[in-house]
Chain A
């Protein structure tokens, strides 16, 4: 059982990790992330890269939807803006990848702020519909602005170069995407220790009292859209570099729904929720496919029969979370922690 954790200063009490236990676990996490590429094969590294990209985007969406309460179905479209910007810069300027990524995130931010404007007037479902419009409009631009996006043919992107080495394979790309992911997640966690993050939560919980406390709602709503789409743009840029090719169908509305499902399953309004949700949503289809492969020797035409079942199980899992664990995976994690804090005593 853990009994209190005395602190001598307010600085210690305001820290991101307030107990030695938390620091230890965070250290262990970083070390495992660093050791992972030496132990995993290419397939698992590929999954790790994909998960990291999804974590960045889901964390961004979580800031907007989970923390600020602005439902958005445009996250994938903003990823698309980031991806296309990176692709265009890569093809036409040959600037270093980091400049391209930042420019992509910047462009996505601009798009996010523009398509965030309806949030100044509408909330909830209405805003969700307005952001779907963003998704369709940007999709239309990707298809029809041929001189820049090359339309349906899509664009190819060379892998990023670091000191003459091309980060082409997952085991190399891992060293680019994971540090970016860690930094961006820590940034999000920090944000909610400060006045800006608190203002976001205030807008979600009770916008009238937020404005009585001097929070200018339009500014903060747009700021939230800006941050969310910056994260989306960064994720989209990394996505483009990772897969090496993009086309207008790379970032469909379904992907926005996927990200929204990720934060719901993971836990809205918690940093951990975005992470766990992205891991769950990326790995579960893989795990289900693995399950189908295991069953295939025993059932005739297993892949034909079981692949719709796979989709259904995936859907059921999400519905199950909504029903039985509405606060998501992060809440399960909290309960587990609580159990160990109190062990061997209950309650």
Chain B
């Protein structure tokens, strides 16, 4: 069954058609990737799904419910979590406070009890803290940095904290925008392992945008390829990899010989 579904989404900024009737879906409990060359519209698609952009046409469905009209915080409350391509942590806070913010939608403390930190506020804070320690911080192996300000952390760890913050929401669908961009090999392997573990242990549907083909081929169940705002292929990683359309989108030419001739500027090369 499809957990997250995007139907015929079209999005334009002025004259630029960022997305053209894009339909993708993410199967429950699966890891789905959206790939495509730079400027294909991947991040626009993510922003439309999380509610920042208002598409001109089309709809977004979560768990069989149409969420197209909802604002981002409402979508978050329904279980849609995401990370950003260029890390969007709260730089003035510690790792722990950043992660606690993930639990915001699941907490209820009101202003009056917050000001005195009495009863409900206190109980809720401690409950959230315990839960985060047990389920998120231990799980992502970031217990050594919990009191550090996020701004002082290396890039790879910041990405991990962002994942932690998203997990603290206990989301149903987790959207990852380039989770391993700019990482070294070891960090990438760690992140890939975490993503697989998240699927195993958290019962979460993962939808990600990624440029690293190795990782996409290794861990994804399903891939959608976007080019110039259109879905040009979809299927299992191996099928997509072999698709001539996809190769053309990435390389621009049909075969290596044509390309070589074009570079030499020979006549007759199309």
- Which of A's residues lie within 8 Å of B, judged by CB? 10-11, 13-14, 16, 187-188, 190-191, 193-199, 201-202, 204-206, 208-217, 223, 227, 269
Specify which chain A residues have a CB less than 8 angstroms from the CB of B104 in the assembled complex: 195, 198-199, 213-215
Stretch touching chain A among B83-91, B194-202, B255-263: B83-91
Asked whether B251 is an interface residue with its Cβ less than 8 Å from the other chain, the reply is no
The reply to whether A198 and B100 contact each other, CB–CB distance below 8 Å, is yes
- Within 8 Å CB of B117, what residues of A? 16, 190, 193-194
Query: Does B58 touch A at the CB level, under 8 Å?
Result: no
Q: Which of A191, A195, A205, A210 contacts B115 (CB 8 A)?
A: A191
Q: A11-B122, A206-B91 are in contact. List 10 more A-B contacts (CB 8 A).
A: A10-B126, A191-B115, A194-B117, A194-B121, A205-B91, A206-B90, A208-B84, A212-B81, A213-B104, A214-B104
Known: A190-B116, A196-B114, A209-B88. A214 touches B130 (CB 8 A): no
- B interface residues, tally (CB under 8 Å): 41
Q: When the two chains form the complex, which single residue of B52, B77, B92, B125 contacts A194, counting CB atoms closer than 8 Å?
A: B125
Asked whether, in the complex, the Cβ of A205 is within 8 Å of the Cβ of B111, the reply is no
Residues of B within 8 A of A210 (CB): 90, 101
For the complex of A and B, 6 pairs with smallest distance between CB atoms: A214-B105, A214-B76, A205-B90, A209-B88, A190-B117, A187-B115
- Tell me if A214 and B133 are in contact (CB < 8 A): no
A195 touching B114 by the CB < 8 A rule?
A: yes
**Contact residue among B93, B126, B129, B165 (Cβ-Cβ distance under 8 Å from A213):** B165
Residue picked from A13, A191, A209, most chain B C-beta under 10 Å: A209
Nearest chain-A residue to B103 (Cβ)? A195
* Chain B residue at minimal CB-CB distance from A199: B104
Cα–Cα distance between A265 and B17 once the two chains are bound (Å): 49
The answer on a CB contact under 8 Å between A213 and B92 is no
A279 to B122, CA, bound (A): 31
B:25-50 near A, CB below 8 Å: 50
Give Cα distance in the complex from A227 to B117, angstroms: 16
Pair B129/A212 contact, Cβ less than 8 Å: no
> Which of chain B's residues have a CB closer than 8 A to the CB of A202?
90, 93, 101
Tell whether, in the assembled complex, residue B114 and residue A190 are in contact, meaning their CB atoms are under 8 Å apart.
Answer: yes
Q: State how many angstroms separate the Cβ of A16 from the closest Cβ of chain B.
A: 7
Q: Which of B50, B100, B114, B125 has the most CB of A within 10 A?
A: B114
Q: Could you tell me the distance between the alpha carbons of A197 and B101 in the complex, rounded to whole angstroms?
A: 10
Q: Does B169 contact A (CB under 8 A)?
A: yes
Distance in angstroms between the alpha carbons of A86 and B89 in the assembled complex? 43
A194-B90 CB under 8 A given contacts A10-B130, A14-B129, A16-B117 = no
Q: Is B63 an interface residue (CB 8 A)?
A: no
Q: Does B97 contact A (CB under 8 A)?
A: yes
Q: Is the CB of B90 within 8 A of A212?
A: no
**B89, A209: Cβ atoms closer than 8 Å:** yes
B158 at interface by CB-CB < 8 Å: no
Task: Check if B101 sits within 8 Å of A199, measured CB to CB.
Answer: yes
Q: Does B222 contact A (CB under 8 A)?
A: no
User: Which of A16, A204, A212 is B72 in contact with, Cβ under 8 Å?
Assistant: A212
CA distance A217 to B76 in the complex (A): 13
Q: State whether A223 touches B129 (Cβ < 8 A).
A: no
A214 vs B81: C-alpha distance when bound (angstroms): 9
- In the bound complex, do residue A198 and residue B114 qualify as a contact, i.e. CB atoms below 8 Å apart? no
* Complex partner residue of A212 from B50, B111, B133, CB under 8 angstroms: B50
Chain B residues near A16: list those with CB within 8 A.
117
A191 and B125 CA atoms in complex are apart in Å by 12
The reply to whether A209 and B73 form a contact with Cβ atoms under 8 Å apart is: no
Q: Once the chains are docked, how many angstroms separate the CA of A287 from the CA of B82?
A: 53
Residues of A near B107 (CB, < 8 A) are 195
Confirm or deny: B109 has a beta carbon within 8 angstroms of a beta carbon on chain A. yes
Give every chain B residue within 8 A of A212 (Cβ-Cβ): 50, 72, 76, 81-82, 88
